[in-house]
Structure 1
Amino acid sequence: MKNILVLSALLLTNLCFAQMGSLSLTFGLPQNDFRENTDATGFGGDLSFAFPFQKGTPIYLGADINYMVYGLNSQDHDLTADIVANGQLIDQLIIPLRVTNTNSIFGTHLFMRAVAPFELIQPYVEGLIGFRYISTNTKIIDRSVDGRWSDDDDDNVISRKTVLDDWIFSYGYGGGFLIKVGPSVFIDLRADFFKGQRARYYDGDDTSAWTVEFNGDPGTYDRNTVSGDNLSYENQPRESTTDLLVLKFGVAFKI
């Protein structure tokens, strides 16, 4: 994740110096076997920048990053743990938790783009190659009023865990239209189709059905021993190729 943040920062910096850059809202629609396995629709954002292949030509080389969430849900759970001494139940702890599950796709691709040099509406086509990172992350949050089960410096978060993740080689093609609305400002309407390798993943239907239970020793369960290691998940990952159609609606800038 640290490498992803560094890459995003570098791309954002380069956007300021690029000859063409765009910021877009994106929708990701699974295709082929991916669509057979999940009906989730991704939603997120896209950032790209490009430079002319040669000065005065309408061919651009660039890079693109995209992040989409295709499943987000939260469930509240009240865990209980019996405290037993000499075979007798002497107390029962109730631990109120909120479990938040996020399924996401991060993609980074290099592209070559050919833009028709018209005045008001400029159609373009492009080819892309790169990688996508698909992951499911779970966050367990303490719902107690005084935050007794969590670290006070971590927003009541007891545990963060990447339950499943995979890197996917990805390539594709697409195109769109640049619609001029100012001297160097354009509406950018784009669609890209990506072929993706096989991967294992969850969707929102899977994670919404997960349960959480304490699997440690109830006799030692107190506020000092709660940790993410004491929590377990029911899961059955799906597996397929990961073809994806990405629709992008944004604003582009030319220098």
Structure 2
Amino acid sequence: MKQTLLLVPVLFIFSLPAQSQNFDADINILFGIPQSDFRESLDRNALGLNGSIAFRIPRLPVHAGLELGIMTYGRDRRLEPISTNIPEVLLEVRTDYDIFTGHLFLRLEPEIHGIRPYLDGLVGIKYLFTESSIRDDDGFGEDIASTTNYDDSSFSYGAGGGIKVEVYDGGRDSYMVNLKARYLFGSEASYLQPGSITRDRGGNLIFDESRSGTNLLTIHLGMTYKF
């Protein structure tokens, strides 16, 4: 699932006509820092990837775009035998605790040669989900099987800003280092935390749910391709 979410902006970029102009596409390392009651409930930060595509409205210093991100705020691992009859063969059971963010945004970005400061307004969703998978115990390769154990979503909106510094100008296209931050307000949602999945004597799963607002400060560092 996470791989599919990350492919969306990439596929969109390659679907554009070759002669397209006035587009920005970026990919970033993403840091998520819970705020307010989200921080009180979930006392840990998140790490992941983020990407966006934006179109500059002709004759205006304004961009409209779509931004997607995925970050992990925890992971549980354990080894289990493939069956009670084959205890020598072990599989890794891995549970990831993730937040997907998807936002539409409007960006005010004046064109200053070589340096581009900007301000963003965003609206969208946060999707919090816990996914378990099994794989070979060496930890490499594709998942053998996976399932989403728990999920919930919240309405999300906020504002942010950043700065782009040009490092290459090819005339029709250019590359920029991009540093940005957002404060994203979020409605209440339920979610799991690392260690919150247990089993009773009958082997049934027990979920120790947490619930709070989902305010989140995000910091992004990456590259922008302007074409």
TM-score tier, shorter chain, comes to 0.7 to 0.9
Structure 1 residues 31 and 232 mapped into 2: Cα distance closer, same or farther (>3 Å)? same
Q: Find the counterpart in structure 2 of residue 105 from structure 1.
A: 99
3-state SS of paired residue (1:35): helix
Q: Select which of 180, 188, 208 maps to 1:236.
A: 208
Following superposition, which runs of at least 4 residues in structure 1 exceed 3 angstroms of deviation? 7-10, 77-81, 92-98, 140-143, 154-157, 210-213
| Map 1:87-236 → 2, pairs under 5 A | 98-140=92-134, 157=144, 160-183=146-169, 184-207=174-197, 210-211=198-199, 215=202, 231-236=203-208
Q: List runs of 5+ in structure 1 lacking aligned partners.
A: 82-91, 144-153, 216-230
TM-score where L is the length of structure 2:
0.82
Paired position in structure 1 for 2:9: 11
Inter-partner Cα distance in structure 1 for 2:48 and 2:104: 19
1:29-44 equivalences in 2 (<5 Å): 29-44=33-48
Contact 2:6 2:70 in 1 (8 A): no
Of the structure 1 ranges 129-138 and 16-25, higher mean CA displacement relative to structure 2 is found in: 16-25
Structure 2 segments unaligned to the other structure (5+ residues): 17-21
Please name the residue that 2:224 is paired with: 252
Q: Residues 76, 14 of structure 1: CA spacing in aligned structure 2 closer, same or farther, 3 A cutoff?
A: closer
Cα gap change, 1:212 to 1:248, in 2 (>3 Å): farther
Amino acid aligned to 1:139: S
Q: 1:70 to 1:180 in 2, by over 3 A?
A: same
Kindly indicate whether the alpha-carbon contact (under 8 Å) linking 1:15 and 1:48 is maintained by their aligned counterparts in 2.
no
CA distance in 2, matches of 1:204, 1:40: 10
Q: State the identity as a percent.
A: 29
Tell me the CA shift for residue 63 of structure 1.
Answer: 0.5
1:115-135 per-position Cα deviation (integer Å, ceiling 9, x unaligned): 122112211000001112110
In the aligned structure 2, how far is the partner of 1:156 from the partner of 1:11? 23
Instruction: Name the CA distance, whole Å, in 1 between partners of 2:75 and 2:194.
Output: 6
Q: Write the distance in 1 (CA, Å) between the matches of 2:133 and 2:208.
A: 18
Q: Counterpart amino acid of 1:42?
A: A
Q: 1: distance between equivalents of 2:179 and 2:129?
A: 27
1:203 is displaced (CA, Å) by 1.8
The 1-side partners of 2:25 and 2:208 are apart by: 40
Question: 8 Å contact 1:40–1:204 — kept in the other structure?
Answer: no
Distance 1:8 1:76 in 2: 28
TM normalised by structure 1 equals 0.73
> Partner amino acid for 1:14?
F
Cα distance in 2 for residues equivalent to 1:124 and 1:155: 39
Structure with the higher helix share, 1 or 2: 1
Structure 1 equivalent of residue 70 of structure 2 = 67
Residue 181 and residue 77 in structure 1: after superposition, are their counterparts in 2 closer, same or farther (change >3 A)?
A: same
Change (3 A) 1:93 1:50: closer
Taking the aligned partners of 1:181 and 1:25, their CA distance within structure 2 comes to 18
**Equivalent position SS for 1:247:** strand
**RMSD across aligned positions (CA):** 2.9
Cross-structure match for 2:52: 48
Instruction: Tell me, in whole angstroms, the C-alpha distance in 1 between the residues paired with 2:156 and 2:142.
Output: 36
Q: Which has the higher strand share?
A: 2
- For the pair shown, which has the larger CA radius of gyration, 1 or 2? 1
CA 26–142 in structure 1, closer or farther in 2 if over 3 Å, else same:
closer
